[in-house]
Amino acid sequence: MKLKRFEEIIGFTILGFSAIIVILILGTIIVNIISYGSNAISWEFISDFPKDGMTKGGILPTIMGTIFVTIITTLFSIPIGVSAAIYLSEYAKEGMLTRIIRAAIRNLAGVPSIVYGLFGVAIFVQGLGFGSSVLSSGLTLGLLTLPWIIATSEEALKTVPHSYREGSLALGATKWQSIRSNVLPYALPGILTGSILGLSRAAGETAPILFTGVVFFVPGLPDSVFDQFMAMPYHLYILSTQHHAIEQVRSLAYGTALVLITLILIMNFTAIFIRFKLRKKFQM
Amino acid sequence: MNNIIIKDLSLAYGEKQVLKRINQEIEEKKITAIIGPSGCGKSSLLRCINRMNELIPDAKIMGQIIFDKIDIYDSNTDVTEVRQKIGMVFQRPNPFPKSIYENVAYGLRINGLKDKNKISETVERSLDDCGLLKEVKDRLHTSATELSGGQQQRLCIARALAIEPKVILMDEPCSALDPASTFKIEELMVKLKTRYTVIIVTHNMQQAARVSDTTGFLYLGELIEFGNTKKLFTKPKEKLTEDYISGNFG
């Protein structure tokens, strides 16, 4: 009896400790970035262009660049990803083909991001002639996000009770009508949450945009999707490793990190908020 | 006459034969009950009549079901039209997580009705037919999932009635309900048969005896006996039927 109790305490402690470690890691990162970066934050920092070889001024073009690229990524990956998920979950018959598709998606998720970068160069920059641009980078990040969006959307579709589909079909609805009005709305919170989390991951990536459109410095914001751009993750990389006066720009680097992580946290909280809102609405 | 004529109907799920060459005519505007022990194929038979079995990936269906002068399994037959004419109520009430009003309006909308007044009228009439209107009149736009089980099931019947089917299939519609709700549904069935053909699958023999005009006894995928309910329950022709209704097995 004593031994059992002892084992229980040991087990509980190990599990609890593991959970706390996770929180500690996140906490340390955030505290570290805030403590070093908060000095750099000012209105000028987020609304102005870099000056004097990046040693002064703000990071506006990098913020806008990251936002533009993420918009392209969203427009590309959500429609394709969600459609593919609907096909796999609702239409595809289990068989050789769907097994191959699923295996492909899983493997796609495991491809290193630098490889996506190289692929983006081959396909978008050169193959399709989009050049080094917002478009090429956005599409490359889209490819990276696709497997994630497909997987989470399919998961969300699977949680919609079978009886909704049956009830609707029994009323003479076509399959597509049933999906559109009786399956998709209820899977939407899960699809959106998964998609936003996938996109926030993509927004922080450096490798895929490295070869496909991001640059160290351009005067002015991109005018079209075919322009090169600046982006926060790359800016951070330059400031912390490639700059001629690394010590001098350290606080700017931390400031950039702080803005980037804030943007990503905002996206994640939006995802949580949407899920909360929609779940309430559909439970009505 | 608008009877349902089942001709040589066989059904298999993969290797498993579920229904074996069923031949039967089901009369219109009557309540027909299908009884039999669990796993005898009674729900499967019911789901053949509106082609819901097709949703099961490895279901193989052979034979014909003639309704309204067409074979519903003919390759030229539109399955959505079949299901509009032959409605279904499921074992567990399955209202959509929409408002009460939207649940009933759903079938009208997917069938292309846009006129708002007409939708409203039909929704109210269908709810009224199911005796639900006076219970929910002032909360038509609240969620259907807040209704009681029995009310939900009547809502599902109203939803099926709204698109004006000719046949209503009910798959053990009371098995998840309490006795009072069961009574209301049974009353409703009797009322419905003046306008609709009702086919009900039930494991509850008293229910079959109470409400149905005709009863079919299904055993291991074969229709053993089919006929007038009173006769079947008092003077069954087959030994198997007698054993089943007297509770010797099942």
Say what the pLDDT of residue B1 is: 67
Q: Which two tokens stand for residue B58?
A: 């490895």
% pLDDT > 70, chain B: 99
Encoding tokens for residue B82? 């079949």
Of B87, B96, B110, the CB nearest to A177: B110
pLDDT tens, residue by residue, A163-203: 999 999 999 999 999 999 889 988 988 899 889 989 998 99
CB contact under 8 A, B94 and A166: yes
**Quick check: is B54 in a domain?**
yes
Give the domain ranges of chain A.
60-283
pTM value?
0.84
Backbone φ and ψ for A229, nearest 5 degrees, come out as -150, 170
Strand partners of residue B67:
B70
- Count the residues in chain A: 284
Q: Is the pLDDT of residue A120 over 70?
A: yes
Residue recorded with tokens 């589909």: A165
Question: Do B83 and A167 lie within an 8 Å CB cutoff?
Answer: no
The pLDDT of A94-122, averaged and rounded, is 91
Q: Which class in CATH covers the domain with range A60-283?
A: mainly alpha
Q: Alpha-carbon distance A33 to A176, whole Å?
A: 48
Q: What is the pLDDT of residue B156?
A: 96
- In the numeric block, the tokens 């299904």 are attached to B218
Q: A283 vs B97: CB contact, 8 Å cut-off?
A: yes
Distances (CA, A) of A115 to A100, A133, A209, A260, B159: 21, 18, 11, 23, 54
Q: Give dist(CA A178, CA A40) in Å, integer.
A: 53
Higher pLDDT, B247 or A67: A67
User: Which CATH number does the domain housing residue B203 bear?
Assistant: 3.40.50.300
- Residue range A247-280, pLDDT digits in tens: 788 888 899 999 999 999 998 898 888 888 877 7
- Nearest by CB to residue A173, choosing from B80, B88, B94, is B80
Q: Domain for residue B250, yes or no?
A: no
Distance from CA of A282 to the nearest CA of B (A): 6
| pLDDT band, very low/low/confident/very high, at A284 (cuts 50, 70, 90) | very low
Q: Which of B83, B111, B145 sits opposite A170 (nearest CB)?
A: B83
State how many domains chain B has: 1
The predicted-structure confidence for B35-88, as pLDDT tens digits, reads as follows 999 889 999 999 999 999 988 888 999 999 999 889 999 999 999 999 999 999
The answer to whether A211 and A117 are in contact (CB under 8 A) is yes
Q: Which residues of B touch A (CB under 8 A)?
A: 50, 52, 55, 57, 80-84, 87-88, 90, 92, 94-97, 99, 106-107, 109-111, 142-143, 145, 156, 159-160, 163
Pick from A237-246, B4-13, B166-175, B218-227: least confident: A237-246
- On the question of pLDDT at A232 being above 60, the answer is yes
Q: How far apart are CA B93 and CA B153, in angstroms?
A: 5
- A-chain CB neighbours of B142 within 8 Å are 284
Q: Is residue B118 part of a domain?
A: yes
Q: Decide if B90 and A166 are in contact by the 8 Å CB cutoff.
A: yes
Which tokens sit at A231? 């982006």
The overall longest dimension of chain B from CA atoms, in Å, is 56
The answer to whether residue A132 scores a pLDDT higher than 70 is yes
d(CA B105, CA B124): 10
Residue B39 counted as domain residue = yes
How confident is residue A282, by pLDDT bands cut at 50, 70 and 90?
Answer: low
CA B33 to CA B173: how far, in whole Å?
12
Q: Please tell me the predicted confidence (pLDDT) of residue A278.
A: 75
B-chain CB neighbours of A160 within 8 Å are none
Closest chain A residue by Cα to residue B57:
A93
How many Cβ atoms from other residues are within 10 Å of residue A261's Cβ? Answer: 17
A283 pLDDT higher than 60 = no
The answer to whether residue B119 scores a pLDDT higher than 60 is yes
Concatenate the DSSP letters of all residues of B178-213 into one string.
-HHHHHHHHHHHHHHTTTSEEEEE-S-HHHHHHH-S
Q: How many percent of chain A have pLDDT more than 90?
A: 51
pLDDT surpasses 70 at B4: yes
Asked if B156's CB is within 8 angstroms of A163's CB, the reply is no
- Rounded mean pLDDT of chain A? 89
pLDDT value for A31? 93
Over residues A144-162, the pLDDT tens digits come to: 999 999 999 999 999 999 9
Q: CB neighbours (10 Å) of residue B128?
A: 13
Residues on chain B touching A163 (C-beta within 8 angstroms): 90, 92, 94
Chain A residue closest to B159 (CA)?
A: A171
Nearest chain A residue to B94 by CA distance is: A163
Q: What is the spatial distance between Cα A168 and Cα B159, in angstroms, rounded to a whole number?
A: 10
Whole-angstrom distance, CA of residue A217 vs CA of residue A229? 8
Domain with B162 in it: 4-245
Report how far residue A209's alpha carbon sits from residue A33's, in angstroms, rounded to the nearest whole number. Answer: 23
Q: What is the mean pLDDT of chain B?
A: 92
